[in-house]
Amino acid sequence: MSQITTQDERLGRLVELFKAESAEYAGLPTPGDTEGRRRMLRSMMNVRMPRPLSAEVLELQDEYLSERRRERGVVGLEDIPTIDVSLGSTYPHADIISLWQGDITRLRCGAIVNAANSQMLGCFRPCHDCIDNCIHSFAGVQLRAECGENMARLRRRYGPGYEQPTAVPMLTKAYNLPADKVIHVVGPIVDGALSARHERALSDCYKNVLDMCLENGIKSVAFCGISTGVFRFPRERAAQISVDTVERWLGAHDGTIERVVFTVFSDRSREIYEKILS
């Protein structure tokens, strides 16, 4: 495939290759516009089960996603001020905590946190806007494959019905993302009234992710709003728990983490964190 040199050619070829490997999608018409082809490719990546893909196609996918990363822009920690600067905060550890509004898949740091589900294979809903779907889409199909291998090992150990427990993180490579690693964690699902059990489980998510960073020499980590999407954890309470847990952990592990980023997407979520951290 060395004759393919432009991003539009890569996209068109990938769409046809992914269609060709699936009898269900082989006959679908390919959209004539770039955005339509991007959505079709992402959709086929989203629904694809973890299985081998030829080295040649993987190379083309990586070339395409690498260029998409450049097009979308990479945000480094040097581009994000700590809250002592951005908010004038005197909150504990304000010199190593940041609040950033944006797309976590653009961040270059030691690890980004993925709000996963208990199957640990990513979101299978085509082009869904959840963080799980976004992370897998821009990382590439290798991420689902690695998660699948990890789950297969765990099921050999614990039985075929094994699902990843709440607050037990899993570490993977980040593949085509700017981050070095992805830490996947299942947050608590809130059905009905919020309880102390939900709150403890969410706090454990943040604590256990930071423990994993410490164990693996990861010096910077960007958190998403764990459980605040389809898992229905109230955003205000989730933000307070995340900040309190991180503050306690940093106080007990001075100097081991160089930067913690609370990543938010909406204006409302940013305002919630600003009120807590100011």
Q: What is the pLDDT of residues 44-103, one digit of tens each?
A: 999 999 998 999 999 999 999 999 999 999 999 999 999 999 999 999 999 999 999 999
Average of per-residue pLDDT values in the chain: 96
Give yes or no: residues 185 and 150 share one domain: yes
**Domain boundary residue among 42, 71, 100?**
71
Q: Worst-scoring range by mean pLDDT, 22-26, 182-186, 188-192, 217-221?
A: 22-26
* Confidence tier at 253 by pLDDT (50, 70, 90): very high
User: What is the mean pLDDT of the segment spanning 7-28?
Assistant: 92
The pLDDT of residue 120 is 97
Does any domain span residue 2? no
The pLDDT of residue 164 is 98
Give yes or no: residues 80 and 50 share one domain: no
User: What is the mean pLDDT of the segment spanning 120-128?
Assistant: 97
Does any domain span residue 211? yes
**Domain boundary residue among 55, 71, 87?**
71
Residues 6+ apart with CB under 8 A from 244: 203
Three-class DSSP category at 136: helix
Give yes or no: residues 164 and 46 share one domain: no
The pLDDT of residue 25 is 85
CA distance 183 to 74: 19
User: What is the mean pLDDT of the segment spanning 113-134?
Assistant: 97
Give yes or no: residues 92 and 194 share one domain: yes
How many domains would you assign to the chain? 2
CA torsion through residues 22, 28, 29, 32, sign: negative
Rg from Cα positions in the chain: 19
Give yes or no: residues 78 and 65 share one domain: no
Distances (CA, A) of 222 to 3, 85, 86, 99, 158: 38, 18, 17, 9, 30
Does any domain span residue 1? no
* pLDDT digit string, tens, across residues 209-251: 999 999 999 999 999 999 998 899 999 999 999 999 999 999 9
Kindly report the number of other CB atoms within 10 A of residue 141's CB atom: 26
Three-class DSSP category at 214: helix
Q: Which residues form the domain of 168?
A: 74-277
User: What is the mean pLDDT of the segment spanning 178-193?
Assistant: 96
Does any domain span residue 54? yes
* Confidence tier at 22 by pLDDT (50, 70, 90): confident
Give yes or no: residues 169 and 124 share one domain: yes
pLDDT of 3 above 80: no
CA distance 228 to 132: 13
Tokens of residue 109, six digits: 């740091």
Q: Which of 240, 245, 255 is nearest to 185 (CA)?
A: 245
Tokens of residue 196, six digits: 């102390």
Give yes or no: residues 48 and 81 share one domain: no
User: What is the mean pLDDT of the segment spanning 203-213?
Assistant: 98
Estimate the crossing angle of helix 131-139 against helix 34-47, to 10 degrees: 100
> What percent of the chain is modeled with pLDDT above 90?
94
* Confidence tier at 146 by pLDDT (50, 70, 90): very high
Give yes or no: residues 203 and 107 share one domain: yes
DSSP 23-91: TTTTTSPPPSSHHHHHHHHHHHHHH--S----HHHHHHHHHHHHHHHHHH--EEGGGS--HHHHS---S
User: What is the mean pLDDT of the segment spanning 99-110?
Assistant: 98
- What are the φ/ψ torsions at residue 67 (nearest 5 degrees)? -70, -35
Give yes or no: residues 273 and 144 share one domain: yes
Give yes or no: residues 243 and 158 share one domain: yes
CA distance 183 to 105: 13
CATH code where residue 169 lies: 3.40.220.10
Give yes or no: residues 109 and 233 share one domain: yes
* Confidence tier at 130 by pLDDT (50, 70, 90): very high
Give yes or no: residues 95 and 183 share one domain: yes
